[in-house]
Amino acid sequence: MEPTISRGVDVAADQDTVWALVTDLPRMGELSPENVGGEWVGGATGPALGARFRGTNRNGERQWWTRVRVVGCEPGRWFAFDVRTPFGVRVSRWAYEITPTAAGCRLTEHWYRVGNWFIRRFMGPRVTGRQDRPGYNAHSIEHTLAAVKARAETAVAA
């Protein structure tokens, strides 16, 4: 499956520092313009293949939650999760790819648009208030990558 949108940023920090940031889903709200955090569920306490998470998102006064399952987990390299509605309908996949560079690493965030046309065209915009999900997610990814970069580089400098 090819990602719908991918953006990357070079980070002057090691892969493990970046990994810790992008896999800390309960604190993702500190880095994302739409996600406000959430909690690991079903006995999960952190990133692991098959781990489940309940995420909370907000757009102005609108707030909604999603069901998340980790579908890819290679520490320091790859983290991917599928997002579903509270009713179990798959709507997207998000992935973070971390590759080493001479000065630290490159973090690439991928968004895969999945799900049926009814969710994309009607339910998604009604629940989230976003008519142009791909356009918004391109902005969101750039925001999140900049926040991860700033946080990781500050941690390394400290």
End-to-end CA distance of the chain: 39
Count of Cβ atoms closer than 10 Å to residue 133 Cβ: 19
Q: What is the per-residue pLDDT for 152?
A: 98
Task: For residue 85, give its domain range.
Answer: 5-157
Which of the four pLDDT bands, split at 50, 70 and 90, describes residue 124?
A: confident
CATH (domain of 56): 3.30.530.20
Which run of H or of E encompasses 124? Answer: helix 124-128
Residue 115 has pLDDT above 80, yes or no: no
| Average pLDDT of the residues in 115-129 | 84
Confidence of residue 116 (pLDDT cuts 50, 70, 90): confident
**CA pair distance 126, 14, nearest whole angstrom:** 40
When divided into structural domains, the chain yields a total of 1
pTM of the model: 0.95
| C-alpha–C-alpha distance, residues 51 and 129, integer Å | 28
- CA angle, 38 then 49 then 112, to 5°: 70
